[in-house]
Chains A and B, each alone.
Chain A
């Protein structure tokens, strides 16, 4: 709370400094201070959560690392700012963070009125519901009269209102500011239903006292394209953040992995050579304001998109989320990178 007010006031008062930096080249700022300041979730297993020794890991955290790797060639040059749903936008607006990689839904309002730019959707999500098995609910349409736990200040809260209104169902919202508070309230039985993005539900179920007592209902009631966000007015930085994602996707498409990236540099395929910056007179990275090694550095640091996905939220993680919409375009999904050329 204090931080939100402070951020708002600081953004009002000192925006002279903050926004000056924002409208100018964020890349130069980042290089000057020597690290990327990355806004992440306060704790969502699989996406961004600190471990026992305080090191952050997760899907979104890997994006922060990938950006640092692209800029510095060193994935450790990141500082994380854990942000609640409510704190995230003022923090980005005021320049407290350089990029927001915090499972944030891209919407027109956020893209325009809030002054942000979202681009590469790094995770196609949708809002779902979780209930206790003992309630014997099979569909979200049976939820009339339920108390619903939801995090405030999210698109989730708005979709929830719209869905229940459209289906003429009654409900009683129980809202909290922090994800941890929502979890605790749901676990304690303060509400019957927990709603958030489906990926989040799978992640949160693991943290409940008895995960097996809960089921995620089949309905998906919204489109939630999660994307990293930057401030408007700095196209170069926007391009870098976008192309970090495209590089991850492209690497998966080419079959470039963390393990074989050095080997792939010798590939005969000119597309791969160009992508990895080994083509003669390559300007593939310098045009972005980075080095030609940028894609190599990203893959060395975190692997390709498929590896990032599997390690944090997919088959190789406790969450075991299917690739689904997040498979590559040529495997029935929506993940598609523009040509690196």
Chain B
């Protein structure tokens, strides 16, 4: 770039008046814009503060330390009505994260399958995938959520006549209840074995790659890693005498008691967001794969590389470069769409924040917290995906 700058003819000095100087003019317009923006922000803030005072509305973030007084149905961390508003927001934030992360994982898996399905030579698979994409892409996400929620509610039996599935899993309109493992004495060894297995797997994978680079010999990485991660904890578990019990759900007077329950609110939101976003991801994946020049495949075949390896080593790495940027947008959309939870009573950040907003009347404060949290979530997702994109980008040598 440095070369480019020195080559530019010095226009600014040749023109006589300073008013005609494009550089000066540029700075002038930018300064005007900034001044107007600053004045606008000042006016809004000043007006707000002034009017809040005039309307006798208490403001500030002190309310976050007050006792909440209400209960939250779904919480991953302990929460009672004695906890603070701040903790209630944290509960909502964790619930948002939970549905966003699980939704993103599931949507990615379904999306990739359907996207590849659309390119399948099998007529039925291709047409089914097409139908899936067109149906879910063209329905508003809120309707998809209602479809799952109302569908689930009206079809499933009451809690007392819960549908008993194998392994003590019960299905009812109160959600899915399943046995919760309760760690007994010595259970920590199994966990330890699991962590060791993961560390060993990482180590072995690196070693195998170095070995292949050095000698060309390929080690059975997949099987070794699977064996380590499943086998080692399993053996430890059996050797220490299977120290895990289960808290099995049993029918109580109103609900099933004991075990763990995944409520219908979470299930319907999770399913709806996954299915909805997967339709978009499918199209992105198809575009990405189509975007790789046919010459690449033909060249790989000409070199005698097997079709499965061609897909894995030639097509997909190049397709990923096209897929990742729009995929990031879909992840952000899914996270933001999770705020539709409020329609079905899932205790996400917006739902809990709304309750707090109502109990305390601190609308501006709560809305500002929403804005900051969603902005941070989106920026964090973007940063991660940009990092991943940079890793996957074509390395120019």
Contact = CB atoms under 8 A, between A and B. Distances in A.
A146 interface: yes
Interface string B48-70: 10011011111000000000011
Interface stretch (B105-113, B231-239, B329-337, B357-365): B357-365
Instruction: Give the size range of B's interface with the partner.
Output: 35 or more
A1 interface: yes
Contacts of A165: 80-82
Contact of B354 (A113, A115, A153, A192): A153
Contacts of B150: 184, 188
Contacts of B174: 147, 190
Interface string A126-168: 0000000001000000010111000011100110111011000
B153 A11 contact: no
Contacts of B48: 12-13, 15
Contacts of A86: 354-355, 357-358
Contact of B363 (A93, A112, A145, A192): A93
A175 B351 contact: yes
B342 interface: yes
A176 B55 contact: no
A177 interface: yes
Nearest to A5: B367
B134 interface: no
B361 A89 contact: yes
A171 to B, nearest CB: 8
A174 B81 contact: no
Interface in B32-90: 44, 47-48, 51-52, 54-58, 69-73, 80-82
B323 interface: no
Interface stretch (A16-24, A31-39, A68-76, A303-311): A16-24
Contact of B350 (A1, A13, A145): A1
Nearest to B57: A115
Contacts of B252: 145
Given A158-B69, A175-B355, A185-B345, A23 B54 contact: yes
Of the candidates B347, B357, B363, the one having the most CB atoms from chain A within 10 angstroms of its own CB is B363
Given A13-B44, A162-B69, A8 B364 contact: yes
A85 interface: yes
A285 to B, nearest CB: 29
Contacts of A93: 55, 57, 361, 363
A93 B73 CA distance: 30
A152 B173 contact: no
B210 interface: no
Given A89-B358, A135-B254, A161-B71, 15 more contacts: A4-B357, A8-B357, A12-B48, A13-B47, A19-B54, A22-B55, A86-B357, A93-B363, A114-B57, A153-B354, A173-B71, A175-B355, A185-B153, A192-B254, A231-B55
Interface of B: 44, 47-48, 51-52, 54-58, 69-73, 80-82, 150, 153-154, 158-159, 173-174, 252-255, 257, 264-265, 339, 342-345, 347, 350-351, 354-355, 357-361, 363-364, 366-367, 370
Interface of A: 1, 4-5, 7-9, 11-13, 15-16, 18-19, 22-23, 85-86, 89-90, 93, 109-110, 112-115, 135, 143, 145-147, 152-154, 157-158, 160-162, 164-165, 171-177, 181, 184-185, 188-190, 192, 231-233
